[in-house]
Structure 1
Amino acid sequence: MGPESRHLRESDAMALGVMIVIYVYCFLVMVLGLLVRNAASRRQLQDPADTGATTLAQSGSAITLAGCLASWFEYCCLVFPYMMIRLRRFVRANWAVTLPA
């Protein structure tokens, strides 16, 4: 366990921190979309002929889907490659097989 392993742990902590921050932002965008949709449904209950409430509900759905899409993008571009790198590092460290010459 030399300084190289400490450096890897620091970089892993930074990568995990970045992924968590991005995931929290995606979650907040999804919650914002749900709140907008909820506000639109309350507005529609007060006045069923309000076309602005219908538009607001549709934009709330779009905001929620944007948060879901951003979360999916994070998993495909950050989480899965990071997991593969960690798995490769784990396999090399624990099951290093040397072939006989």
Structure 2
Amino acid sequence: MKNQRSRQQYRPRPGQRFRCLVCGAEVTVIRGGSGHFSPVCCNQPMVFLRQPVPMYRCSVCGSEIALIRRKSDNLDPICCNISMDLIRATEPGAA
């Protein structure tokens, strides 16, 4: 049976990040839906991280990528022979 305790719920939006304070696992929302997201790890609610993961989308084919780690400011993701558009991740929508 799933744990039914009260947890913070979020409207999932691309780029949102959450971390487990017990083991350090992190998750990132790739594609948001219409439901409410309450990530749990190690039997504890995961915490929302204010710094979103930068997400990019190709305006031609719709491919999307997430930037996991930046080593320099020289990143220019190319898809379909054009630069991909940066998707602005938003603050969480608490329900």
Shorter-chain TM-score: which interval?
under 0.3
TM-score by length of 2: 0.20
- Which structure dedicates a bigger proportion of its chain to helix? 1
Q: Which has the higher strand share?
A: 2
- Please tell me whether Structure 1 or Structure 2 has the larger radius of gyration of its CA atoms: 1
